[in-house]
Amino acid sequence: QLSILFQDKCNRKSNQQNLGTIKSSNLCAEIVEYSSPTEIAVCNLASIALPRFVKEK
């Protein structure tokens, strides 16, 4: 599936504007974070299968 991400719009709406320009995002483009030459932004997405942890009384 093709997705389009507008870099200028992401940077205008970013809470990290004071850090610099955002140049990339994760694959689905729902997470954008600033990375620098000395720091790489990471967002780990996960899910939990709640039925495996819920016990009926």
pLDDT tens by residue, 2-22: 678 888 888 888 888 888 888
Out of 30, 33, 39, 44, the active site residue is 30
**DSSP classification of residue 32:** B
Token couple for 18: 């004071």
Indicate the pTM of the whole model. Answer: 0.55
Q: pLDDT band for 1, please (50, 70, 90 cuts).
A: low
Query: What are the structural domain ranges in the chain?
Result: 1-57
pLDDT number for residue 17 = 87
Taking the C-alpha atoms of 29, 31, 36 and 39 in order, what is their torsion angle to the nearest 10 degrees? -130
pLDDT > 70? residue 51: yes
Out of 10, 15, 18, 28, the active site residue is 28
Q: Has 28 been annotated as catalytic?
A: yes
Q: Has 30 been annotated as catalytic?
A: yes
Phi and psi torsions of 3, nearest 5°: -125, 145
pLDDT digits 0-9 by tens, 22-44: 887 877 777 888 888 998 888 88
Q: Has 11 been annotated as catalytic?
A: no
Out of 10, 11, 26, 33, the active site residue is 26
